[in-house]
Amino acid sequence: MSEGLRCCGFVSVLGATNAGKSTLVNRLVGVKVAITTHKVQTTRSAIRGVMVRGCRQVVLTDTPGFFAPKRRFDRAMQRAAEGAREGVDAVIFLVDAYAGLHEGVERGLEKLEGAKVPVWLVLNKTDKVLKKEDLLKFSSLLHERGNFAKSFMVSSTKGGGVDHLAESLADFMPEGEWHYEEEVVSDMTDRQFASELTREKVMEVLHDELPFQMMVETVHWKDKGSILWIEQMIVVKSGRHKGMVLGEGGRRIRLLGEKSRKVLEEVLGCRIYLSLRVKVRKKWDEERINYESWGLEYGE
């Protein structure tokens, strides 16, 4: 194959919640395209990040993790993850090697049975496993349970093994024109990404105090030349949750605003005025328009 011949393909990254899918996608792309926290169910919809290696473009889809769905919103996230198996050239099944075999991994193995494309097993967080023989045993166990075309061991946070995985993915891509222009790193708009970044900061600052039943809407976006003016609404399900976000005397929401503005300025490369407000909408997770904006199927 000649050096100048372009290749392009699609790869979905699937796995249990908190396996490190978003961190891996960010590492492969080279910039932050998906939010990351230590909390489960951070990723809510399928997000595309674009990795380029020479003349090869790999379109990576970050997906919600596999877990037992209980609500309409949960079921929509699971359908998004399952749908990501279709129309791709390969699937990465990412497994937290330190956490071992658990319900989320079992569910993933079940969902990937009979996959029509090659499935690559990628063991993540291998830097946390002290004994190499334990990694090899775990890898062998998973190979007994699933039909994997290839396997890799990486640390998405520290970068170990990721370059080898990236090159292998690039080499696997079929010939074809690129799906995205060279400068594109994600299919999300800046406005959508801004909402996600603020949601990341809410999850980081509030830790376990606020359930994951909240969202962030960017309600105003205006470029005033020397500064980008952004207004966002943090939507929660109860007055108690609103109080948690605001904090005593509004101190917590000011902290959230400072943290989010700083990251937004770094990512967008401009000065930003950020205004955060909080609103109670008890059934925001039942509103069809929200599912449409996230690319999720409303379902039952």
Q: What gap in Å lies between CA 24 and CA 52, rounded to an integer?
A: 15
Query: What does the pLDDT look like over 250-267, one tens digit per residue?
Result: 999 999 999 999 999 998
Token pair belonging to 105: 């991994």
Q: What is the mean pLDDT of residues 242-255?
A: 94
Query: What does the pLDDT look like over 201-212, one tens digit per residue?
Result: 998 888 766 656
- Res 110: pLDDT: 93
Options 3.60.150.10, 3.40.309.10, 2.10.50.10, 3.30.300.20; CATH for 190-294 is: 3.30.300.20
- Res 98: pLDDT: 95
**What's the pLDDT band for 114 if we cut at 50, 70, 90?**
confident
**What's the pLDDT band for 3 if we cut at 50, 70, 90?**
low
Can you give the residue ranges of every domain in the chain?
A: 7-172, 190-294
- Return mean pLDDT, the chain: 90
The values of phi and psi at residue 147, to 5°, are -100, 90
User: Which residue intervals of the chain are DSSP H helices?
Assistant: 21-29, 72-83, 103-111, 132-145, 162-172, 190-206, 239-246, 251-268, 288-294
Q: Does the domain made of 7-172 have the CATH classification 3.40.50.300?
A: yes
| pTM of structure | 0.88
Q: Greater confidence, 76 or 15? A: 15
Q: What is the mean pLDDT of residues 170-176?
A: 96
pLDDT tops 60 at residue 287: yes
pLDDT tops 90 at residue 290: no
- What pairing do the DSSP bridges indicate for beta strands 119-124 and 47-53? unpaired
- Res 1: pLDDT: 38
Q: How far is CA 217 from CA 178, 242, 274, in A?
A: 32, 15, 13
Query: What does the pLDDT look like over 44-103, one tens digit per residue?
Result: 777 899 999 999 999 999 988 777 777 887 788 888 877 877 889 999 999 999 999 999
Choose the weakest-confidence range: 53-57, 110-114, 174-178: 110-114
Q: What is the mean pLDDT of residues 113-120?
A: 92
- Res 208: pLDDT: 65
Choose the weakest-confidence range: 18-27, 128-137, 200-209, 220-229: 200-209
pLDDT tops 70 at residue 191: yes
Query: What does the pLDDT look like over 230-241, one tens digit per residue?
Result: 999 999 999 999
Q: How far is CA 166 from CA 54, 118, 154, 171, in A?
A: 12, 16, 11, 9
**What's the pLDDT band for 2 if we cut at 50, 70, 90?**
very low
Query: What does the pLDDT look like over 126-149, one tens digit per residue?
Result: 999 989 999 999 999 999 999 999
- Res 292: pLDDT: 84
